[in-house]
Structure 1
């Protein structure tokens, strides 16, 4: 009796594992990542803008906005995981906002666009979709 149970258990385990393996092999591949998406480069130069003190701004961090350097919500469909940087200047001022999206001092330009990895990178072309 013990031998019959062991044989049946072995077959059940074997079929169960084989079925799970076949299902896993047939399942569509899913790319899981804990890293946020990388921004695209809409401009290799900063944007000179006049800011109004006390007004809230949303700087585009993904590079997909058609209203650069500000957010138009494109990240919701084109760069999920990247969010705009919201900020409120204390007073009226003229500033240079980053256009390459790789600044270490967002939203302000810090000269990163002059580095080789930005200079040699292709510009992102906006599409209507």
Structure 2
């Protein structure tokens, strides 16, 4: 499988409302960290995640996290 593009070397910290979201796994989305279909024609697919309540999150942008879609500090080892 191909390696994802590193979209950024720091997480995207934001507050999200309750609901479903699609995290970009390929790193090619222009709407990081969310999928915009940039993976079309690749082996990548977006990862759906659901928040039950409004929450502040740190979403991985380096695509190296072991806890997707959330940042685990993997960007510090790039």
Range of TM-score over shorter length: over 0.9
Please tell me the root mean square deviation across aligned C-alpha atoms, in Å.
0.7
- Offset, 1:89: 0.6
Within a 5 Å distance, the mapping from 1:13-52 to structure 2 comes to: 36-52=1-17
User: 1:52 and 1:68 mapped to 2: Cα distance?
Assistant: 17
Greater C-alpha Rg: 1
Q: Which runs of 4+ in 1 moved over 3 A?
A: none
- Offset, 1:52: 1.0
Structure with the larger strand share: 2
Structure 1 portions without partners, runs of 5+: 1-35, 119-129
User: 1:86 and 1:52 mapped to 2: Cα distance?
Assistant: 15
TM-score, length-normalised on structure 1?
0.59
Structure with the larger helix share: 1
1:58 to 22, 31, 35: 22
